[in-house]
Amino acid sequence: MRAIWKGAITFGLVNVPIKVYSATEDHDVPLHQVHDKDGGRIRYQRRCEVCGEVVAYEHIDKAYDDGERTVVLTAEDLGSLPAERSREVEVVEFVPTDQIDPMLLDRSYYLEPDSSSNKAYVLLRRTLEETDRTAIVKFALRQRTRLAALRVRDDVLVLQTLLWADEVREAAFPTLDEPAKVSAKELAMSSQLVESFAADFTPEEYQDDYQAQLRQLIEAKIEAGDTFSTEETFGEQEEKGGEGAEVIDLMEALRRSVESSRGKKSGDAKGEKPSKEAASSGTTRKKSERPTASRASDDQAASTTAPASTKEPAKKKTTRKKASA
C-alpha cells in the first residue's frame, strides 16, 4: 500500500504522527470505451468551450458558477486556505460507539504510526479499547474539511470519514404516514422465517457474481480469438511526504491535557474563560511538514466541484483571479 496523506492526531497536548492509507479498493473489472469497428480506444479531450482549444491539465483551474458569473480559483488560491494547510487530525470529542449512525459512514482509512516510537499510537488505541468509545475528529484533506470517526480494528487505528448531517436526506414517504396493521400471527410467522435464516455474518463467504461472470465472458472471448491487438502504458505518481511530528514527553503532555481540561470545565461552570497562560502553557508537539499532494491519489474523486451552469458558456462574463508570480 502507498500512503496518501501524512499528519498527526492531536490528542490533548499529545501528537500521534500517522500515515494514512486507503483501507478499501474496487474489485470491478476495469472497462473502457472503444470504437466497435476497429477496437480503437475512445479518448476525451479537455476542450475549452470559449476558444475551442484543447487545454493541457496544468492549465486547468477550478471555478464557481452562480449562473451569471464564473469565478476562477487557482491552485494558489485554494492552497492559501488555512484549513487546507493544516496537517492535524484534531480529536474534538469521545462518544459512545453506538451513537454513530452507520448511515453517516463514508470511506475507511488505515492509520500507521509515523515516528521512531509508536508509544503515543498504542496509548490512543488502548484508550479507545478500554473506554469503548469512538473519537470524533476533524481534519482537511483534498480541499475539503472532513468529519471522521476514529476507532480500532484488529489492533490498527481506523479513520472512517463521516457525511455531514445535512448530506443525509430525510426519508419522508407519504405511503408510511398511515402504517398498515400487522397481526400478532403474521409477526410470529415472520419471526420464524427470520430465525430459519439466522447465521453469523462472514463476508468472505460472499462474492460478486456479476464480476465473476464478466471475467468468464472475457476469458471465453480471448480463447475464441475475438480480440483486437492493443497496447497500453500506464504511469503512476509517487507521493512524497514530510516528516511526522514527535512526542517529547508523553506523561507530561497527558498531565497537562488533563489539567487543562479540568480548568476549562471549571471556568465554564463559573461563566469564565480559561486563562491565556493555561491555554498556552507547555506544548509538546511540533508541526509536521506539509507533504506534496499527489493528483493521482485515491481520493481525487472526493474533491469538491461546483455545479455547472446550464447557460451557454460563450455568453458568460468570466472574472478570474490571477495568481501572483
Map out the domains of the chain as residue ranges.
5-31+57-174+240-319, 175-223
Q: What does the alpha-carbon distance between residue 112 and residue 9 come to, in Å, rounded to a whole number? A: 11
- pLDDT at position 314 over 50: no
Which residues have C-beta within 8 Å of that of residue 31, sequence separation ≥ 6?
none
Output the pLDDT for position 266.
65
110 Cα distance to chain centroid:
11
Sheet-wide strand order for 317-320? 62-65, 69-73, 317-320
pLDDT tens, position by position, 144-156: 788 999 999 999 9
Rounded mean pLDDT, 94-99? 92
Rounded mean pLDDT, 72-84? 78
Which numeric CATH code is attached to 5-31+57-174+240-319?
2.40.290.10
Output the pLDDT for position 107.
92
Look at 79-93, 132-146, 173-187 and tell me which has the smallest mean pLDDT: 79-93
Specify whether the CB–CB gap between 39 and 228 falls below 8 A: yes
Output the pLDDT for position 317.
45
Rounded mean pLDDT, 233-242? 38
Specify whether the CB–CB gap between 247 and 284 falls below 8 A: yes
Look at 20-29, 30-39, 185-194, 276-285 and tell me which has the smallest mean pLDDT: 276-285
Q: In terms of pTM, does the model score above 0.75?
A: no
- pLDDT at position 287 over 70: no
Residue with cell 472526493: 302
